Amino acid sequence: MRLKFIKPMEPELVDTPPMGGDWIHEIKFDGYRTQVIKDDDGIRLITKNGYDWTGRYIQLAGEAEAIEAESFIIDGEAITTNEAGLSDFHALQSAVTRRRPSRDLYLVAFDLLHLNGHDLRNMPVEDRREILQELIPTGGRIQFSEAMPGTGDAVYHLVDQAGLEGMVSKRRNSAYRSGPTMNWRKIKCYAEREMDIIGVQREAGKPAMVLMADMGRYAGGAFVTFKADKRQRLWDRVQGKIGGPAPKGLKSDKAQWLKPGLVGRVRFLKGEEKLRHAKLLDFREKQ
């Protein structure tokens, strides 16, 4: 029997971890959501949008062969790690686009949707994960995503201190339902970095924003939430720099583009391509 790809269940992004004992908490890995399917046709590795990437994940496909079951659908995240042992999305992007498959790929498996002819999606996630853990051999490139002991806020503190991207909390008794759900929640950690302030956006009735560039590339906007006096100091600095060039491909009428020289310290969500939930913490003139 040929098994069909199942559209993934997607955690909603929330600001704080859920409280109470009804939840299991896992580390959120920074990679590509991947479904591993084994059926009469062999092994396939499918992206979250349903594309077959078995050829790019040939090593992982080989490891999946070793899992002792006639058929299964495993939900997980394909990752690659950096020197610090943390999952690294940018390294992963280059790993999967190279001609030769990378040796640094891993799959962190966190759910089991089908096993040996049985659809498991109506079982509680806690039970599905227990079966999955038994199924996965230890020490290979396909690894089980362990639940972290402790309350949601304690796990978040650990994840943040370790420099990780975030965590995912799952309601213990939740069934697997494709699409967005509040039964799974992701809570991301924040990072801080200095970037160039290249523009401002000030519209009546809307929060003011500074527009940032990181290493010469447009990074997005960060909200300005300073008190009145500090905000005025920022606008005074900005005023002397209006008239800079708009970044390539960006022609926002609502923005004023600035000449170089102003640097801002920004707090933003980790693991996003552009600034998200970003806030300007401070600013200075470039030395």
204 and 182 in a common domain: no
Average pLDDT, the chain: 90
Residue 199 has pLDDT above 90, yes or no: yes
Arithmetic mean of pLDDT, 205-223: 91
pTM: 0.76
Is 3 inside a domain boundary?
A: no
In terms of residue numbers, what domain contains 184? 9-188
Smallest CA-to-CA distance from 258 within 278, 274, 243, 269 is with 243
111 and 42 in a common domain: yes
58: domain CATH number?
A: 3.30.470.30
Give long-range contacts, CB 8 A cutoff, 24+ apart: 276-281: 276/220, 277/190, 278/212, 278/220, 278/221, 278/222, 278/223, 279/222, 279/223, 279/225, 280/210, 280/222, 280/223, 280/224, 280/225, 280/226, 281/192
245 and 117 in a common domain: no
- Which of 40-49, 77-86, 117-126 shows the lowest mean pLDDT across its residues? 77-86
- Which of 74-78, 100-104, 156-160, 228-232 shows the lowest mean pLDDT across its residues? 100-104
28 and 157 in a common domain: yes
173 and 37 in a common domain: yes
Give the pLDDT score at 257.
Answer: 93
14 and 116 in a common domain: yes
Residue 36 has pLDDT above 60, yes or no: yes
Give the pLDDT score at 157.
Answer: 92
Arithmetic mean of pLDDT, 198-223: 91
Where residue 276 falls among pLDDT bands split at 50, 70, 90? confident
Q: Which of 161, 188, 215 is the last residue of a domain?
A: 188
